[in-house]
Amino acid sequence: MAVKAYLRPKSPSEALALIEGDERAALIGGGAYLRLASRGYETAVDLCDAGLDRVRVEDGALRLGAMVTYRRLETDLVVRDCSGGLLGRCVENIVGVQVRNIVTVGGTVAGRYAFANLTTALLALGADVVLARGGRKPLEQFLADKAPARDVLVEVVVPTAVRRSAWRDLTRVRSDFAVLNVAAVDVGGEVRVAVGARPGVARLARGAMQAAAAGDARGAGEAAAAELDFGDDLRASADYRRRVCGALVTRALEEVLA
């Protein structure tokens, strides 16, 4: 199927109207990933003019427009201050600046990519997503949605009460997809841990969070390795992932709890 039309809606609602009734229409955020997918769409709905590239702090929360790029997460001082640097750190090694100049928060989150570092970090931070139709919901719930409706992700809302944060990932070459990624944060006194690229989509490690609440980083690592599911893929085996999960979670928590 060749792409027959290219449209640039001026708002999320206009974008929603374009995709809602049309199975062959696809949203373009950064477009980096879409182009790789088998081109199963006829109408490209590019969000670049939909006014979604804003970063603002409102009601004690950081609101990241869907079209905010990774590079912005790295360089924007507001983002850095609000997330304790976590949002920049989790993406700073992804490919190169060229790619990070185009790939977006919205494309990553909406794509529900299992490998996505950013999703792991946002999950640990306790972010919510705001959808043009579906409204606001916790990211955790959004990721768990088995049959998501066609919708436009408008923004991601991140709590700003981040006291400490830590990022750990394991890659082959530096710019590669993670074999496993771990984000740990202390948000307003609550320690939260998320683990992604297992290779399943990011999940909170609740057992680990409990152990962390008791200040036990080692126990948290063991809990995470025991409670999460791990699988094999090109990059590593389930067994290896489980073994290093403990180490990475422990190290991340040692940093957060210190």
Partner 1 sequence: MKRSGDMREVGRSLPKIDALGLVRGTPAFTDDLAPREALCVVAVRSPHAHARILSIDATAALAMPGVLAVFTWKDVPRVAVTRAGQGHPEPSPRDRFILDEYVRHVGDEAAIVAAETEEQAREAARAVRVEYEALPPVLDFEAALDNPVVLHPEPEIHENFPIGFEPRRNVASAYNMHVGDVDAVVARSEVVLRRRYYTQAQQHVALEPHCACTWLDVHGRLNVISSTQTPWHVRRIMARALEREVKEIRVVKPRIGGGFGGKQMLHGELYCALATLRTGRPAKMVYTRREVFEATNTRHPMRLDVTLGADRDGTLRAIDLEILSDTGAYGEHALTVFMVAGAKTLPLYNKVEAVRFGGRTVYTNHLPGGAFRGYGAIQGNFALESALDELAGELGLDPIVLREKNMIAEGETSPIFAIMGEGTEGVEMIVESCKLPECIRRGKELIGWDAKGPRREVAPGVFRGLGMALAMQGSGIPTIDMAAATLKLNDFGSFNLLIGATDLGTGSDTILAQIAAETLGVSTGDIIVYASDTDRTPFDTGAYASSTTYVSGHAVRTAALKMREEILVEGARSLGCEPARATFDGCEVRGPAGAITLRDLSAKLLYNEHQKQLMTTGSHLCEKSPPPYMAAFAEVEVDAGTGEVKLVDYVAVVDCGQAINPNLALVQVEGGLAQGIGMALWEEVVYGPQGHLRTRDLMSYKIPGREDLPSIRAELVASHEPSGPFGAKSVGEIGIDTPPAAIANAVAAAVGARVRDLPVTPEKVLNALVLA
Partner 2 sequence: MNISLELNGRPANWDVEPGEALLEALRRHGVLSVKRGCDTASCGTCTVLLDGVPVPSCAVPAPRADGRAVTTVEGLPDEAARLGACLAAEGADQCGFCAPGLVVAVVAMSRELEHPDEAAINHYLAGNLCRCGGYVSQTRAIRRYLQEAR
Ligand X SMILES: Cc1cc2nc3c(=O)[nH]c(=O)nc-3n(C[C@H](O)[C@H](O)[C@H](O)COP(=O)(O)OP(=O)(O)OC[C@H]3O[C@@H](n4cnc5c(N)ncnc54)[C@H](O)[C@@H]3O)c2cc1C
User: In the complex, which residues of this chain contact partner 1 (CB under 8 A)?
Assistant: 2, 93, 96, 170, 172-177, 179, 234, 236-237, 240, 243-244, 247-248, 251
Does position 230 interact with ligand X (CB under 6 A)? The reply is no
Residue whose CB is less far from partner 1, 74 or 151 = 74
Site string for partner 2, 118-157 (x = CB under 8 A): ----------------------------------------
**Does 35 engage in binding with partner 2 (CB under 8 A)?**
yes
- Contact with ligand X (CB under 6 A) among 18, 33, 80, 218: 33
Q: With binding defined as CB under 6 A, does residue 29 bind ligand X?
A: yes
Minimum CB–partner distance for residue 249 and partner 1 (Å): 11
Three-state secondary structure readout of the chain: CCCCEEECCCCHHHHHHHHHCCCCEEEECCCCCCCCCCCCCCEEEEHHHCCCCCEEEECCEEEEECCCEHHHHHHCHHHHHHHCCHHHHCCCCCCCHHHHCCCEHHHHHHHCCCCCHHHHHHHHHCCEEEECCCEEEEHHHHHHCCCCCCCCEEEEEEECCEEEEEEEEECCCCCCCCCEEEEEEEECCEEEEEEECCCCCCEECHHHHHHHHCCCHHHHHHHHHHHCCCCCCCCCCHHHHHHHHHHHHHHHHHHHHC
Query: Is residue 67 a contact residue for partner 2 (CB under 8 A)?
Result: no
From the list ligand X, partner 1, partner 2, none, pick the one residue 257 interacts with, judged by a Cβ distance below 5 to 8 Å according to partner type: none
Q: What are phi and psi of 168, to 5 degrees?
A: -135, 130
**CB-nearer residue toward ligand X: 104 or 211:** 104
Residue 106's binding partner out of partner 1, partner 2, ligand X, none, with CB under 5 to 8 Å set by partner kind: ligand X
Number of residues that bind ligand X (CB under 6 A): 30
Give the footprint of ligand X on this chain (CB under 6 A).
26-34, 47, 66, 94-95, 99, 103-104, 106-108, 110-111, 113, 115-118, 152-153, 176-177
